Amino acid sequence: MARILVTEPIAEGGLERLRAAGHYVDVQVGPTAGELLDLVKGAHALIVRSATTVTTEVLEAGTDLVVVGRAGIGLDNVDVATATARGVMVVNAPQSNVLSAAEHTMALLLAQARNVPQAHAALVAGRWERSRWTGVELSDKTLGVIGLGRIGKLVAQRALAFGMRLVAYDPFVSEDRARQMSVELVDLDTLMATADFVTIHVAKTPETIGLLNAELLAKARPGIRIVNVARGGIIDEAALADAIATGHVGGAALDVFATEPTTESPLFGLDSVVVTPHLGASTHEAQDKAGDTIAEQVGLALAGEFVPFAVNVSAAEASETVRPFLPMAERLGELFASLSGGGNDTLDVEYQGQLAGYDTRILTLSLLKGYFGRVSDEPVSYVNAPQLAAESGMTVRETATTTARDYVNLISVRGGNHALGGTLVGLRGEPRIVMVDDHTVDVPPARHMLLVRNDDRPGVIGTVGTLLGNAGINIADMDVGQSSSGDSALMVLATAQSVTPAVVDQLLAADGVTSVAAVELS
C-alpha cells in the first residue's frame, strides 16, 4: 500500500479508484509551502492541480516519491527537471480539459467580437448603451492559431463552422497535416500581420515566455484582437495594454495571467478587454476526466507499469503493436541481470520483425528498468533507468531489422558472455524465453527459474529431475537447448517453488552438471 498525498480538490471518483487499489489517500487541501514540506515526507505519490507548486525543496523532502501527478495539462508549477534527476515520474492528464479549453476559447472569441460582458455590465448598471457596443462578425475574418496541438485543432474546427479563414503557426506540424485541417501554415510574423483574431495554444516554456512582446505586436495587423486561454506569461501584458491603449490592437480576451491569482493588471481598466479567472478547464466534465485520468496514471506508476502520460520519460509513447511486449522486455532485463551478475559495460539490444518498424525506445527503457531493478538498491522506474545506466558507465546500443528470422517478432539482448531472446506467441500473446546464451529454448518466464548447464549425454535430465523432486520442488515447465557444437546442453526450468542454495549445491555436485543458476523474478 502506498501513501498518496492530494493537496487540491480532485474528482472523488478518481480518489476512490486509488483507494480501491489498496492505497492510502491522504487529502490535505491547500497546505502552505512549509506545511507541504512536512506532508510530502513518506508520501509515494503527490497529486496537485495548478495552485500547488512542486519545487526542488518539495521533491528533496519527498524522498519516497515515485510519481507526481498534475490533474490537468500545464506543468509550469512542477519542477520537472529536478523530478527527472531524482527518478520521480511526472504525469499529467493532457486530454482531460482540451474540449473545455477549446470551448472557452470560442466563448472568449465571441465575447470579444460582440462586447458581451461590457454590454452586460452597462445594462445591469442601468445604462442602455446599444450603439456603444457594436461588434464585428467572425464570418470571413482570418483567425491566426498559434499552436495546432489538441486544443488548437479543436478551435480551428469550430472556427471553420463560423466561416473563418484559418492560418496557423506551428513548427511541429507538417503542411500536409495542416492542409487536411483547412489551415494554411505561415511564420509568426506573417500570422500577426494577416490575422483579424489570434488565439494562443502553446505550452509555457522558456521559448514561449514573452512570445507576444512589444516587437511582435508592432508587426500585427491594425485592429487585431488576441485571445489567450493557454498560459499566462506568453503575452507581455504591459506591452499588450500599451498596444490596446494606442489603438493598434483592437482588443483582447484573457483567461490566464503571468501571476495568478491576480486582481490587478494594466489590462483590467481597458474597455476592449474581456477577462476571466483561469476558467479554461473549469467545467464539471473536465474536472471529472482530470481526476479519473490522473488517478489511473498514478496507479500505473505506483505499480511499476507503463504510464502513457508520463511527461519525463524519454519515450512515453507505445503503439498498440509495441505495448504488449513491455512486460516481456522487463523480464528479459531482469533475467539478464541475474544471469550476468550485473556490471555489464555494454548491452546490445536488437529488435527483429514487425517490431522493428515501430518506435521501440520504450521497450529498451522497460528492459533497463528490469535490469537495474535487479541490481540497484533504489527504486527503479522508466524515468531513472537511463540515468542509472549512465551512472554505471553502461553503453546501450540498439539495432533493428524488419527481417523476420525464426519468429515474427524477437527481442534479444547481449552483453559480456550472455545472451537472451524473448517473444510473444499465439493469439493471446503469451511470453516465451526462446534463447539463452545462443541455446534455442521455449519456456515462459516464471517467478522461479532454474538454468542448468550440463554435458549433452543421457541421464543428466533425469538426475536433475530426481534431485528437485526429492527437495519437494515441482517443475512447472522445462525445455532443453543444445549448443551449436552439440557438446553441451542447457536446461531452462520454471519451478513452482524457489530453489534453495542447498539444492543448488546438490545439483552442482551431480555428475554431468557444469553450472547452475537459480533466478527469482519479480
Q: Report d(CA 377, CA 135) in Å as an integer.
A: 66
Residue 17: name the closest of 296, 428, 272 by CA.
296
CB neighbours (10 Å) of residue 121? 12
Closest of 152, 147, 175, 140 to residue 101, by C-alpha: 152
Given the residues 231, 414, 439, 448, select the one marked as catalytic.
Answer: 231
Contact 487, 507 (CB under 8 A): no
In the numeric block, the cell 534453495 is attached to 500
SS3 sequence of 88-154: CEEEECCCCCHHHHHHHHHHHHHHHHHCHHHHHHHHHCCCCCCCCCCCCCCCCCEEEEECCCHHHHH
CB 113 within 8 A of CB 135: yes
Q: Active-site residue 231, yes or no?
A: yes
Full DSSP string of 204-221: --TTTTT-B-HHHHHTSP
What is the three-class DSSP state of 308?
A: coil
- The length of the chain in residues reads 522
Q: How would you class 522 by CB atoms within 10 Å of its CB: exposed for 0-12, middle for 13-18, buried for 19 or more?
A: exposed
Q: What is the 3-state secondary structure (H, E, C) of 159-196?
A: HHHCCCEEEEECCCCCHHHHHHCCCEECCHHHHHHHCC
Whether 104 is catalytic is: no
**Annotation marks residue 35 as catalytic:** no
C-alpha dist (Å) from residue 208 to 51, 200, 343: 21, 11, 43
Report DSSP state, residue 380: -
Rg, Å, the chain Cα set: 30
Annotated catalytic residue within 16, 57, 184, 260: 260
Catalytic residue among 278, 414, 418, 448: 278
Active site residues: 231, 260, 278
